[in-house]
Amino acid sequence: MAASISPLRSSYRICNSLSFHHCRAKLRMHRKCDSQRRHLHASVTRHAAVVVSGTEMARQIHREIQREVEELVTGGNMRPHLGVVLVGDDPASRTYVRNKTRAASILGISSDTVVKPTSVSQDELLELIDKMNRDWKVSGLLVQLPLPGHIQERAVCNAIAPEKDVDGFHIVNIGKLCLGQTSMVPATPAAVWEIIRRAGIETVGKNVLVAGRSKNVGLPIAMLLHTDRNHQRPGGDATVTIAHRCTPREQLKELTRLADIVIAAAGVPGLITVDMVKEGAAVIDVGINRVPDRTTGKLRLVGDVDFEGVKEKAGFITPVPGGVGPMTVAMLMKNTVAAARYALTH
């Protein structure tokens, strides 16, 4: 049986009969082909992104919270209690509140919801908040947003006692967050941070693009990721860029292609597409958008990322639904327990 001969050895034999320069050209050609074969093999064998399940991660946090609650109650302390205020009859707000109180019940946290009509005055609402602030039985307090147009959202958020502000929207909590101090961190930004941390995604020195600058989501996420990891509330030490509705599409594409981590929180369905993402980047989808299904015509939930396309190129990706959403509720519960612990020592 004839022994097999590699292309490289064949080229050396040809050298005996061809000119030296012709031989070198032949060798360069073989090396180029070999390099192309290796690149093709790498591209063929590349795996799709790791899909980070927020649902599974939330279950882990639920178990941790249940242990904390049991520890508090066993120690003779009051069970953590979440007070919720719902204004109006917006279906989405009712669903969100129901999900939160249901999660609280499962985790051993008691709760009650005060429902006020859309016509409630701002003064009446502020009086209710003041009463709940002074109620020692209420560990954590939240007012479900959005509010009717005649009520100033900022006035309501600032009326909640900072130590009971489980949404983390009080100006004191936002200020402490920006300074890298311990505070109530808004639940959705806290969820994004926890996903990154638990998934083992490196942030130090990395480029991060946050698409969306809302005061309750985009801005706090940017603060968490860019602040110093040696501060009282450790940050991500990343280089963070914030894009928003005034960022031209082509510029957004340039910025996302440079990013090691892309956080989509703009509320625009399919904003981030596969051609905008760097190979191996981590993509966290915060978007919650309801769009008509082309097949059924019914509304379905989608994020700000083209999930099917981007998952073939990213290193990590969160789905919608089942990504940031379940983690947001889990972090809200974690804030409620933290508020109960704070009340024990103050």
Known catalytic residues? 100, 144, 167
Record the tokens describing residue 96, joined without a space: 């969100």
Distance CA 75, CA 65 (A): 15
Q: Strand locations in the chain, DSSP E?
A: 50-51, 81-87, 110-116, 140-143, 207-211, 239-243, 261-264, 282-285, 289-292, 299-302, 316-317
Distance CA 102, CA 111 (A): 9
**DSSP labels for 43-65?**
HHHPPPPEE--HHHHHHHHHHHH
Q: Answer yes or no: are the C-beta atoms of 76 and 120 closer than 8 Å.
A: no
Cβ atoms of 213 and 219 closer than 8 Å = yes
Find out whether 281 and 314 touch, Cβ atoms under 8 Å. yes
Q: 87 forms bridges with which residues in the sheet? A: 116
Our CA dihedral for 96, 97, 101, 102, rounded to 10 degrees, sits at: -40
* Phi and psi angles of residue 149, each rounded to the nearest 5 degrees, phi first: -60, -25
**Distant-in-sequence, close-in-space partners of 61: CB < 8 Å, separation ≥ 6:** 194, 327, 330, 331, 333, 334
SS3 assignment for 101-148: HHHHHHCCCEEEEEEECCCCCHHHHHHHHHHHHHCCCCCEEEECCCCC
